[in-house]
Amino acid sequence: MKRRTNRIGKMGFSLALGAVCVFVSLAVAVPSQGENILDKIEKTGKVAMAFREGSVPFGYMNEKGEWVGFGLDLGCEIVNALSAKFQKEISLEKIPMIPQTRIPLVANGTVDIGIGSTTITLAREEVVDFSLPYFLTGTRLLVPKGSPIRDFPDLAGKRVGMGSGSTANIKGIDSAMESGLIKPACEKVLFEEHNKGFLALQQGKIHAYFTDASMLVGMVAKAQKPDDWEIVGRYLTYEPYGIILPENQGEWRDFVNAALIGMIKSGRFEEIYEKWFGPKGEVPMPMSTEYKTLLKALSYPD
Amino acid sequence: MGFLNYTFDWSVLWRHPYGNMFIKGVVTTIHLSLLAWMIAVIVGIAIGIFRVLPIRSFRFAGSFYVQIFRNTPFLVQLFFWYFAAPLLLPEPAQEWLYDNVPNYAYWAGVAALGTYTASRVAEHFRSGLLAIPHDQYRAAYSTGLTTMQTYRYVIAPYAFRIIIPPFTTEFLTCFKNSSLAMTIGVMEVTHTAYYVDSFTSHGLETTTAASLVYLCIALCVALFMSFVEKRIYIPGMIARGQ
């Protein structure tokens, strides 16, 4: 009897190890290795794009349950450019992404392109590629109206919420604490999603919420009483957003960049910006001078 | 070593500053689960006893507790303890709580995991008590023991031994369920794995490490419990496959 129990024990152990291996291999979907994405799109007539579902107004569900946003409009423009290039209808396959999945989805080839609200960082550049920066914002603070917190130094000793997937933000606040801008240090409270962080801010669990100004404006716009909130502080860091593209797909990246430049030069980009961020848009946010300069710098001649 | 375009870099597990994060994550997982387990055993046994007492109101309270905590998803209970429970307090008390309890999320996680596991422990304990043949009670009473003494000296020692296997399972599940505390921001080992992944894009290494941590904890717990089971074994009580 004793021997049998041992054998079962050993089998159990190898089964457990096997389970770990299976779990691990499931985590990597098989990437499309080396195939030229433009050729693939022409052959299949399909392009797979990932968008955000919970990032107002970059990609979100509106009251009618439709999936809309700034990113989706840019995606449609790129699809139109593809259709024009190949002189045939290219169909768009939309796939949702969240901050934790956006890099893997593109890196493993599930989608050809990811358009959300993704800051270009050097660390991310090691795994994926980015288009030219098409959006510029910076990190600021969301506080209840009348809060004593006016700028980053006021955060000393306070509890500050931020998104756990927003690595650029976390690094920004870490270096602000190291450099002595926030002294004594503040307590970082991490949230999976911005809306949970906003709920905690409403309940007083945290004193301020820290992320990209464009996100904060969106959070205020969706609040029950937008007047109870204000966005304060200097830009702690600049956050240039880029479209996520797979590594080593130079032609595909050139094509996306050319489509972006084309939109900027034709004024179509400004129209789309106005639609979402203009005075009548979902999230009114006038274009900053820095952002305007960036768009001018992107108006490459033909 | 590389396959599927992916280059493994196991050094993310010990490299500065990630190594310290992992150690902290493992430690957090262990003491969060152990604290929750202590709550679960104490509350669970009390509720289990409530459910078999010959007093109706106690039985009702016990079954009310079990039905509420066992029949709602653990994830929802976590959100309840983190987001909703403090709202039941008056506002100054809420402020005091957030200002004076460092890491409120951690304690919300302990409370949620403890009370949830307690409802399951209570059911196992109750079934342990019910598994004892009625003749044992009668025999104990006939020797002149009071109800309290009957439970303390005759029933409980048997019941505890009967429920050791299901307790082992619950103890293991308690460790594994602690990973859900990441949804309210507790930096336990699964959250650390995700967190380091978001900085390094080496999720395969970090999730594998987290899985192995759970596997190791589970094996240790199983070994410990089987040691306990052997140690307190009463010859002839239950047929064991040995």
Q: Which residue has the higher pLDDT, B145 or B241?
A: B145
For chain A, give every domain's residue range: 37-134+242-297, 138-238
Place of tokens 């709202």: B87
Q: Find out whether B199 and A123 touch, Cβ atoms under 8 Å.
A: yes
Contact A24 B86 (CB under 8 A): no
Q: DSSP assignment of B193-232, as one string?
A: HHHHHHHHS-HHHHHHHHHHHHHHHHHHHHHHHHHHHHHT
Nearest C-alpha neighbor of B5 from the set A122, A97, A34, A23: A34
| pLDDT for the residue B15 | 87
pLDDT at A260 over 60: yes
Q: Which residue has the higher pLDDT, A274 or B91?
A: A274
| pLDDT for the residue B100 | 84
Token pair for A272: 């789309």
Determine whether domain A37-134+242-297 maps to CATH 3.20.20.30.
no
As a whole number of angstroms, the distance between CA A229 and CA B115 comes to 36
- With beta carbons under 8 A apart, name residues in chain B contacting A204: 94-95, 98
| pLDDT for the residue A195 | 85
Using one digit for the tens of pLDDT, what is the confidence trace for A145-164?
Answer: 999 999 999 999 999 999 98
For chain B, give every domain's residue range: 2-231
pTM over 0.90: no
As a whole number of angstroms, the distance between CA B203 and CA A30 comes to 15
pLDDT at A6 over 60: no
As a whole number of angstroms, the distance between CA B59 and CA A109 comes to 57
Is residue B147 very low, low, confident or very high in pLDDT (cuts 50, 70, 90)? confident
Contact B198 A164 (CB under 8 A): yes
Residue B100 exposed, middle or buried by CB count within 10 Å (0-12, 13-18, 19+) = exposed
Mutate to test the interface with A, among B186, B198, B199, B223 (most CBs of A within 10 A): B198
Domains A37-134+242-297 and A138-238 share a fold: yes
CATH code for the structural domain at A138-238: 3.40.190.10
pLDDT at A219 over 70: yes
pLDDT at A7 over 80: no
Q: Which residue from B83, B200, B211 is facing A23, i.e. has the nearest CB?
A: B211
Phi, psi of A58 (to 5 degrees): -70, -30
| pLDDT for the residue A133 | 96
Using one digit for the tens of pLDDT, what is the confidence trace for A283-301?
Answer: 888 898 999 999 999 999 9
Q: Find out whether A143 and A232 touch, Cβ atoms under 8 Å.
A: yes
Token pair for A139: 């990190």
**Average confidence (pLDDT) over A125-140:** 93
Phi, psi of A140 (to 5 degrees): -140, -170
Residues paired with residue A141 on neighbouring β-strands, in sequence order: A210, A232
| pLDDT for the residue B3 | 46
**Average confidence (pLDDT) over B171-196:** 93
Using one digit for the tens of pLDDT, what is the confidence trace for A19-60?
Answer: 555 555 544 444 445 689 999 999 999 999 999 988 889 999
As a whole number of angstroms, the distance between CA A72 and CA B136 comes to 72
Nearest-Cα distance to chain A for B86, in Å, is 9
| pLDDT for the residue A245 | 96
Mutate to test the interface with B, among A129, A164, A193, A244 (most CBs of B within 10 A): A164
| pLDDT for the residue A30 | 45
Q: How far is CA A98 from CA A51, A258, B233, in A?
A: 8, 26, 52
Name which of A1-5, A16-20, B192-196, B214-218 the model is least confident about: A1-5
Using one digit for the tens of pLDDT, what is the confidence trace for B73-82?
Answer: 999 999 999 9
Q: DSSP assignment of A157-201, as one string?
A: T-EEEEETT-HHHHHHHHHHHHTTSSSSPPEEEEESSHHHHHHHH
**First-residue to last-residue Cα distance in chain A:** 82
DSSP B88: G
Token pair for A62: 């509106």
> Do you know the residue count of chain B?
242
| pLDDT for the residue B33 | 96
As a whole number of angstroms, the distance between CA A236 and CA A176 comes to 8
Average pLDDT over chain A, rounded to an integer: 87
| pLDDT for the residue A253 | 96
Residue A226 sits at the vertex; the CA angle it makes with A182 and A143, to the nearest 5 degrees, is: 10
CATH of B2-231, one of 1.20.1070.10, 2.60.120.260, 1.10.3720.10, 1.10.390.10: 1.10.3720.10
